[in-house]
Structure 1
Amino acid sequence: MANTEDKAPSKENKSSWKDSIYNPRTGELMGRTASSWALILLFYLVFYCFLAGLFALTMWVLLFTLDDYVPKYRDRVPYPGLVIRPNSLDISFNKSDPLKYAQYVQHLEKFLERYNDSAQEKNENCISGEFYLQDGPISMVRRACPFRRALLSFCSGLSDTNYGYQEGKPCVILKMNRIIGLKPDGEPYINCTVKKDHPIQMYYSPNNGQIDKMFFPYYGKKAHENYLQPLVAVKLLITKEDYNKELTVECRIDGSNLRNNDERDKFLGRVTFRVKVVE
């Protein structure tokens, strides 16, 4: 009698566990009949189709309000940032080992390929010191002023293919971010300083770091397809007494109304990077 009573609950529990998945008496699967499953699947199908349609409609309305040539809202970025090439804020190398500075040289060479004469000859000469205004409809294709890499002098990579890294006097190239319609007041130029007790001499090109007004305004990526930002090259004339030291260099856009002192944005009108030359 005891054995029979022990086996009965076990068989009943096993049957109950199977019934929770599929009950052959009622035809329920996971607690629902076939018609119940069909109704709930139909509900979610309609629900998600509605959400997809609503999303598509929202995107269509949004894209319909956008302009392919000029962004609708441009008030959040009124002033340009400043960036450097090679694309590193920590430039460290051994001037006696070409492998240590090869990445910087290769990056500069690749970056300046777009400024070769063969790529710039399709642009037209402009009047230096004057804004290159091109009136017309928004969709009109704008012409661009040429900026040839030869203007960068010793940092052009034409006379010195190592950009000064082999002699421990590295070149860095700076450019401003593009801002549509920007026309800076004054005479903007790049000025760099080294945060240390005694200054380090620097060689700027072209025109002592000045940014010519003829490269402004910029009309947008689609309308101004051939446009390239003007560049300023800075050659750091580092001496032996500063070898094996980490030098902090800050470059700013000065001489104009472009902001360069916003503590909330360290790259607005300025950029700070480190240079270390190992002998």
Structure 2
Amino acid sequence: MSNKEEKPDEKQSSWKDFIYNPRTGEFIGRTASSWALIFLFYLVFYGCLAGMFSLTMWVMLQTLDDYTPKYRDRVANPGLVIRPKSMDIGFNRTIPQQYDRYVKHLESFLQQYNDTVQEKNELCMVGEYFNQDDAAEKKVCQFKRSLLRQCSGLADTTFGYAEGQPCVLVKMNRVIGLKPRGDPYINCTAKRETPLQMQYFPAEGRFDKMYFPYYGKKAHPNYVQPLVAVKLLLTKQDYNSELTIECKVEGSDLRNNDERDKFLGRVTFRVNVSE
């Protein structure tokens, strides 16, 4: 019976000795010198790993350009997008609350195109590329919102939504170094048997060459894309029915018929106006 009673004390003593053994000076089974050697080994080991990683990152960064991405494998041709930022534009023209969000979005988007802001930019030569190979920070050609005329939101603050003839802004995505050949312009059509009347601003919906090329966000921080405003001249016969509108960039070498990418050089949206 006495031997059985001594076993718990022996077990407790063995655990204490494992944590710290005063006879051998060991802590968790190792002496201080042993722990020092292990700590030194891992310090050198992980230091070498950190050094190799830092060297690899430094070598890789030397191959990068601060202004142009090394690999641009997305698309060489721009996609088209619209503002307001909605593929389904639907509202009752007699209820301002229904189209107010579209108006606010357009007004907010066009703030950077205000004439007072754009007058600080350069007056460029129409029809010529604005090449700037030497300048560290590239200059920007003026694009005033007043060029959008009836779709500028200046004379008509509702952008035509109150009268049931809404304006839609079309712009190309930015592609560094892009110089579209020919004379690119926007052409929109309604997917139905009878054509839909539209107005384009600037005239004929053209993207002038002076807004190209784009040099990237760091070199071209104040760059603004050229816009084409499309005013849909809807009539009462067009109300209360969904219209599918497709806009394409035409007149240049830019692609607009890739079935794998529905937004490459084109954009499709729907409009439904009621009264």
TM-score by length of 2: 0.82
Give the counterpart of 1:221 among 201, 208, 217.
217
Alpha-carbon separation, structure 1, partners of 2:96 and 2:186: 29
Report what 1:63 is aligned to: 61
Task: State the SS of the aligned residue for 2:268.
Answer: strand
Return closer, same or farther for 1:201/1:48 CA change in 2, 3 Å cut-off: farther
Identity of aligned residues (%): 67
Give the counterpart of 1:158 among 128, 151, 154.
154
> What is the Cα deviation at residue 47 of structure 1?
6.9
Report what 2:140 is aligned to: 144
Give the alignment's Cα RMSD to 1 decimal. Answer: 3.2
Task: State the SS of the aligned residue for 1:106.
Answer: helix
Deviations 1:64-99 (A, max 9, x none): 221111222335421111111111111111211111
Alpha-carbon separation, structure 2, partners of 1:158 and 1:183: 31
> What is the Cα deviation at residue 143 of structure 1?
1.7
Task: State the SS of the aligned residue for 2:269.
Answer: strand
> What is the Cα deviation at residue 200 of structure 1?
1.1
> What is the Cα deviation at residue 125 of structure 1?
0.8
Report what 2:180 is aligned to: 184
Give the counterpart of 2:108 among 101, 105, 110.
110
1:274 alignment partner AA? R
Task: State the SS of the aligned residue for 1:99.
Answer: helix
Residue 72 (structure 2) pairs with residue 74 (structure 1)? yes
Give the counterpart of 2:257 among 257, 261, 273.
261
Report what 1:250 is aligned to: 246
Report what 2:27 is aligned to: none
Task: State the SS of the aligned residue for 1:261.
Answer: coil
Task: State the SS of the aligned residue for 1:256.
Answer: coil
Report what 2:190 is aligned to: 194
Report what 2:12 is aligned to: none
Give the counterpart of 2:202 among 206, 217, 234.
206
1:131 alignment partner AA? Y
Alpha-carbon separation, structure 2, partners of 1:102 and 1:225: 31
Report what 1:30 is aligned to: none
Report what 2:166 is aligned to: 170
Task: State the SS of the aligned residue for 2:183.
Answer: strand
Task: State the SS of the aligned residue for 2:214.
Answer: coil
Report what 1:239 is aligned to: 235
Alpha-carbon separation, structure 2, partners of 1:156 and 1:116: 9
Return closer, same or farther for 1:104/1:50 CA change in 2, 3 Å cut-off: farther
Deviations 1:156-196 (A, max 9, x none): 00011001111111111011111122111111000011111
Deviations 1:243-278 (A, max 9, x none): 221211111000000000111111110111111112
Q: After superposition, where does 1:98-137 map in structure 2 within 5 Å?
A: 98-134=96-132, 136-137=133-134
Between 1:87-96 and 1:108-117, the stretch displaced more is 87-96
Task: State the SS of the aligned residue for 1:161.
Answer: coil
Between 1:94-103 and 1:41-50, the stretch displaced more is 41-50
2:116 alignment partner AA? S
Task: State the SS of the aligned residue for 2:184.
Answer: strand
1:277 alignment partner AA? V
1:172 alignment partner AA? V
Q: After superposition, where does 1:41-52 map in structure 2 within 5 Å?
A: none
> What is the Cα deviation at residue 54 of structure 1?
4.7
Task: State the SS of the aligned residue for 1:262.
Answer: coil
Alpha-carbon separation, structure 1, partners of 2:60 and 2:101: 43
Deviations 1:213-252 (A, max 9, x none): 1111122222222221110000111122222212111110
What stretches of structure 1 of length at least 5 have no aligned partner? 1-21, 23-34
1:272 alignment partner AA? T
Alpha-carbon separation, structure 1, partners of 2:244 and 2:36: 69
Alpha-carbon separation, structure 2, partners of 1:46 and 1:96: 75
Alpha-carbon separation, structure 2, partners of 1:99 and 1:263: 37
